[in-house]
Amino acid sequence: MDLLIPGFGLFFWNTLAFLLVLFILAKFAWKPILKTLGEREKGIADAISSAEKMKGEMSQMKSENEKLMAQANEERSAMLKEAKELKDRIVNEAKEQAKAEANKIIADAQVQINQQKNAAMAEVKNEIGSIALEVAEKILRKQLATTEGQEAYMSMAADSIKLN
């Protein structure tokens, strides 16, 4: 049973060695270990607070980015609307200008047609008049070619002249 129960000397020297090791550790090792653990704990806490701060900044940047995107979409929509209105206005102006130009061309053409028609009518009248004169001249020559015809023409002319 001696093996199970240690002697007083062994107990004393083991206790003394334990206290000496405890003193040396307390004097030289515990403070640096505790200091290192404190620094590590502080570093982890700082990293966590920095991460939370970054998370807040990221959410703020995300909301700002969404605002900017919404504003850009509104500006794009406004620009597209303005461009469409400008296009419609330009197309309408071009149509109106084309109509005005077409109407002017039609009016000019109608004036020219009327002028040419009047000129052609005058020419036809002149031609008909000259043909009628030629026909009348030929008829008169034929009728007046004989003496009897001349006498008949003179009596007819005398009857048509009325004296007052």
Q: Structure pTM? A: 0.41
Is the pLDDT at 75 greater than 70? The verdict is yes
**DSSP reduced 3-state for 101:** helix
For 105-163, the pLDDT digits (tens) are: 999 999 999 999 999 999 999 999 999 998 888 887 787 778 887 788 788 878 888 66
Output the furthest CA–CA distance in the chain (Å, rounded).
199
Sole residue written with tokens 């031609």? 127
Distances (CA, A) of 8 to 14, 19, 80, 130: 10, 16, 100, 172
Instruction: Return d(Cα 72, Cα 65) in angstroms, integer.
Output: 10
Contacts of 45 (CB under 8 A, 6+ apart): none
Contacts made by residues 129-133, CB under 8 angstroms, sequence distance 24+: none
Q: pLDDT band for position 2 (50/70/90)?
A: low
